[in-house]
Chain A
Amino acid sequence: MKGVFQELREYPARWRRLEEVVRNPILREALERAMTRFAQGRAQALGSLGDFREWTERCRELKDRALERSQELWDRVKERVEAQGGTFYLALHAQGAREYIGKLAQESGGTLVVKGKSITSEEVELNTYLAPLGLEVVETDLGERIIQLAGERPSHIIVPAIHKTKEEVARVFSEAWGRDVPDDPYLITKEVRRDLRQKFLGAQVGMTGINVVSADVPAFFLMTNEGNGRLCSTVPPVQVILTGWEKIVETVEDAFTIFDVLPVNSVGLKYSSYLSIFTGPFNWKKGRQLHVVVLDNGRRRALEDPCFKEALRCVRCGACMNVCPVYKTVGGHTFAHIYMGGIGAAWTAITNGLEEAREVASLCTGCGTCLEVCPMGIPIPSLVEHVKGLVKERGKAERAAVRLVAKRRLLESAAGLAVLVAPERVSRLPGPARAITRDRVLERPQFPPFHPWAQARGLEEGKGGQVTLHAGCMVEYFYPGVGRDAVELLTRLGVPLQIMKEECCGLPARVVGDRALWEELEARNGGNIPPGRPLLFLCATCMSGFHRYGEDGMELPPLLDLSQFLLERLGSEPFPGSLKARVAYHFPCHLERHLGIREEPLELLSRVDGVHLVQGEEAHLCCGGAGLYAFKYPPVSGEILKKKLEWLEREGVEVLVTSCPSCIMQLRGGVEKRGLPVKVVHMATFLLDALDERSGLEG
């Protein structure tokens, strides 16, 4: 418990830091602009690729195949590089790579090293190691050069200095060169060209990373837009390639397949300006050398881990970050150790350490937006959970919170107590906790809970009915009205119901990495599921939890969202009710991205007479609630929420319908805080109101 309180005490300081980050208008605007542009570019360019899922499958397969026999493939590459007079060095750890490259540079007879952008070199912290050896390391990618001179770290994997305005960039170069540099991107670029040209021509060593290495014809593939990569590789007498063990593929055809997807997915370009392919030392001048440094640093161990193994497919396109709501809000200085974003949590765990990885993982909401754009089919949210599960020293507070909410009796008493002592709405919490209510009003639990009411109404646990209605903890204690509406709705539509004995679905435990509790709750719920009839969910998150029981091998009846169930019953008929309003649907992350239910809720709403359905990509944005996340990182959660609210306001939405009580809490809290005339209701409530043709909606 001591650890828990200690952690809790750290939160307010964290909130203040995050508050500063999300309040930085320059960073926010820059991130927003960059990522919107990349995402739009990607969407346009994807058209030329054809079926993205098919590409994903191909990329995934070819990479898995190669990783499976990576040792043999690298042996082949090593043999060929050495046969042609190059050197090949396998660095087991970051230190080995640093020292090897440092020694090469020192023995090269010069002091200047030019470098292409390489996250692998960041991983081994090469620049900080080389400087004290009397070597001048010059980053040659424009963005990298800017942040190198500013003494900062990259905030985006593709556009490292995206957080800097042109005025700031001009200031950085003015200071570095001791003269006034105009704040014009074109002129700055031309001056940097002149400045770095001298460096390319004067350097003894040129070092780059590599995107892909093919083994059948051993070849190193490097893609850049500025042309700095090929100058680094071809101009200085000593060429150094630093590459991770995971970059290997079997054939040159496989390499080209990856490049068909990489630039499109990354920034929406069909092809980057330069793809340089090296098959051995390029001896255009006498005495040129090629040194290949392959970095293990935890990668081969990760190959043995069924979960982390999936992260090794990453080709660092950055698409997952471009769509990530957290990344878009806080950027790559905050949501990173060295590797950024959710995938960065896994990579940090593989290469740098679990403690650091846990911090990165903690910021992920688990929304799964990344799943839709990853060309390598990497299950990033699962990797994040895996990281959390491996670190017991951190995240004690959230694990304690999850253990508390898994105790039904305790929740019931708390709900009873809250009704007696707490106001219906809390719009301002005292002390540091006020951060929680800055962007949202909190609702207190309701009493009585859903199950006692349902039983009083004659519904029985595990008996009778054609369908089992699953309420979930949030409906049980916070929104029993939603449960009542669902029962009323289904009864009036002629659906005989039963309920089941419920426990926490375990998903909260799973996402904070508490495997033991997850397994316990999985087993308990498994024993309670009534056989032979569909299980109907009022909470998308619970449904997603139950879905995972199936993935773990449990035999399950059909799991259905209310919209799926009702649509199937309706066939091609309209819904027997009407409601005149501008209605939007909020897609809960678990429903859309974890369960893949995308069509049914909209289809069902469009069958209700009078509904004017407002659609838009914002309907699919995470609301930032994410269960406990809104309480863990309220400033981030609040900023994510803001985009949704701005959309509702812009579109004049009157009723926002959704299927996850946790989203309802976040969205309703935000709507109220902002004073928007929007009603946020569960699908069950909305449909019951339509059935009644009630004009006023009740929550």
Chain B
Amino acid sequence: MKEEGLFSRFVEEFEAAGGRLLFPRDGVSLNQALSRMVEEEGIRSYAISQRTPRLRAIDALFKELGLEKSRDYPSLDMGVTRAHGAGATTGTLIFVFKGGRDHLLTSLPRVHLAVLRMEDLREHVSEAAIPFLRDPEGPPPYISLVTGPSRTGDIELTHVTGVHGPEKLYLVVVS
């Protein structure tokens, strides 16, 4: 699959699973997309894992928007983390955790915003995950593969999102 085809396939599957791509979108800058989402979702508090320059930039923007950065993870509106990879055929994101509390940002808040580098996208999710599992230094203790928001159909098969995990999953893809 050519890179462009791969990306559009990924976006199609990601959104079919209930995720929303914020960026890149035609005619919308990253800052616009993020501000709009924050407003729509009524986000007031957030936390972010600041491991990459891009995440730091996003953090700066949220500060500018007046959001409160909190360490009380269970009551957060939004968690922001890096995605370490993705698989196009299922629209799945990969999050790799070695320790620390970052994993809680993907599981506890109502909204999860993930930031993926285009070059970490693979066709099948296993191609993205297996290199971590086969890391010569040893595999990370916990890898979380996420396909869309948390969902259930347990009551009369009615589709409801946000059961125990995030109700919304947003994605920013950078190159």
Taking a contact as CB atoms under 8 Å apart, the answer to whether A142 and B133 are in contact is no
Which chain B residues numbered 113 to 132 have a C-beta less than 8 Å away from chain A? 124-126, 129-130
Residues of B within 8 Å of A466, CB to CB, are none
Taking a contact as CB atoms under 8 Å apart, the answer to whether A159 and B153 are in contact is yes
Secondary structure at the B interface, as helix, strand, loop or mixed, is loop
Taking a contact as CB atoms under 8 Å apart, the answer to whether A276 and B152 are in contact is no
Report B41 CB to chain A, min CB distance, Å: 15
Taking a contact as CB atoms under 8 Å apart, the answer to whether B97 and A284 are in contact is yes
Taking a contact as CB atoms under 8 Å apart, the answer to whether A161 and B155 are in contact is yes
B103 interface contact, C-beta 8 A: yes
* In the complex with contacts A161-B155, A277-B133, A284-B99 CB distance below 8 A: yes
A129 interface contact, C-beta 8 A: no
Taking a contact as CB atoms under 8 Å apart, the answer to whether A227 and B160 are in contact is no
Taking a contact as CB atoms under 8 Å apart, the answer to whether B126 and A256 are in contact is yes
A188 interface contact, C-beta 8 A: yes
Taking a contact as CB atoms under 8 Å apart, the answer to whether B156 and A166 are in contact is yes
Taking a contact as CB atoms under 8 Å apart, the answer to whether B141 and A280 are in contact is yes
A647 interface contact, C-beta 8 A: no
Nearest CB to that of A165 among chain B residues?
Answer: B156
Instruction: Tell me, in angstroms, the Cα distance from A165 to B68 when the chains sit together.
Output: 41
Taking a contact as CB atoms under 8 Å apart, the answer to whether B142 and A189 are in contact is no
Residues of B within 8 Å of A274, CB to CB, are 144-147, 150, 165
Cross-chain contact of A188 among B108, B124, B150, B155 (Cβ < 8 A): B155
Report B134 CB to chain A, min CB distance, Å: 6
Instruction: Tell me, in angstroms, the Cα distance from A280 to B141 when the chains sit together.
Output: 5
B158 interface contact, C-beta 8 A: yes
Instruction: Tell me, in angstroms, the Cα distance from A102 to B102 when the chains sit together.
Output: 31
Taking a contact as CB atoms under 8 Å apart, the answer to whether B90 and A278 are in contact is no
* In the complex with contacts A142-B152, A234-B107, A281-B158 CB distance below 8 A: no
Taking a contact as CB atoms under 8 Å apart, the answer to whether A282 and B141 are in contact is yes
Taking a contact as CB atoms under 8 Å apart, the answer to whether A256 and B162 are in contact is no
Which chain B residues numbered 49 to 107 have a C-beta less than 8 Å away from chain A? 74, 89-92, 97, 99-101, 103-104, 107
* In the complex with contacts A193-B164, A226-B151, A231-B107 CB distance below 8 A: yes
Taking residues whose C-beta sits less than 8 angstroms from the other chain, chain A's interface range is 35 or more
A197 interface contact, C-beta 8 A: yes
Taking a contact as CB atoms under 8 Å apart, the answer to whether B134 and A273 are in contact is no
Report A305 CB to chain B, min CB distance, Å: 33
Taking a contact as CB atoms under 8 Å apart, the answer to whether A34 and B17 are in contact is no
Taking a contact as CB atoms under 8 Å apart, the answer to whether A159 and B90 are in contact is no
Which chain A residues numbered 252 to 295 have a C-beta less than 8 Å away from chain B? 252-253, 256, 267, 270-284
Residues of B within 8 Å of A2, CB to CB, are none
A-B contact pairs, 18 of them (CB 8 A): A142-B163, A166-B158, A188-B155, A226-B163, A226-B164, A227-B165, A234-B103, A235-B104, A270-B90, A272-B147, A273-B148, A273-B150, A273-B165, A279-B133, A279-B142, A280-B139, A282-B141, A284-B103
A196 interface contact, C-beta 8 A: yes
B40 interface contact, C-beta 8 A: no
Taking a contact as CB atoms under 8 Å apart, the answer to whether A189 and B160 are in contact is yes
Report A260 CB to chain B, min CB distance, Å: 8
- Residues of B with Cβ closer than 8 Å to A? 13, 16-17, 74, 89-92, 97, 99-101, 103-104, 107-108, 124-126, 129-130, 133-134, 139-158, 160, 162-166
Cross-chain contact of B141 among A33, A189, A272, A281 (Cβ < 8 A): A281
Residues of A within 8 Å of B148, CB to CB, are 273
Residues of A within 8 Å of B13, CB to CB, are 270
Known A-B contacts: A161-B154, A162-B157, A196-B164. Give 8 more (CB < 8 A). Answer: A141-B154, A166-B155, A217-B134, A256-B125, A271-B17, A274-B144, A277-B129, A277-B144
* In the complex with contacts A146-B154, A256-B126, A274-B145, A283-B107 CB distance below 8 A: no
Report A561 CB to chain B, min CB distance, Å: 40
Taking a contact as CB atoms under 8 Å apart, the answer to whether A278 and B151 are in contact is no
Nearest CB to that of B138 among chain A residues?
Answer: A279
Taking a contact as CB atoms under 8 Å apart, the answer to whether A197 and B160 are in contact is no
Instruction: Tell me, in angstroms, the Cα distance from A196 to B154 when the chains sit together.
Output: 16
Report B47 CB to chain A, min CB distance, Å: 15
A484 interface contact, C-beta 8 A: no
Instruction: Tell me, in angstroms, the Cα distance from A187 to B155 when the chains sit together.
Output: 11
Residues of A within 8 Å of B104, CB to CB, are 234-235
Taking a contact as CB atoms under 8 Å apart, the answer to whether B142 and A160 are in contact is no
Residues of A within 8 Å of B165, CB to CB, are 226-227, 230-231, 273-274
Instruction: Tell me, in angstroms, the Cα distance from A256 to B87 when the chains sit together.
Output: 12
Residues of A within 8 Å of B141, CB to CB, are 84, 278-283
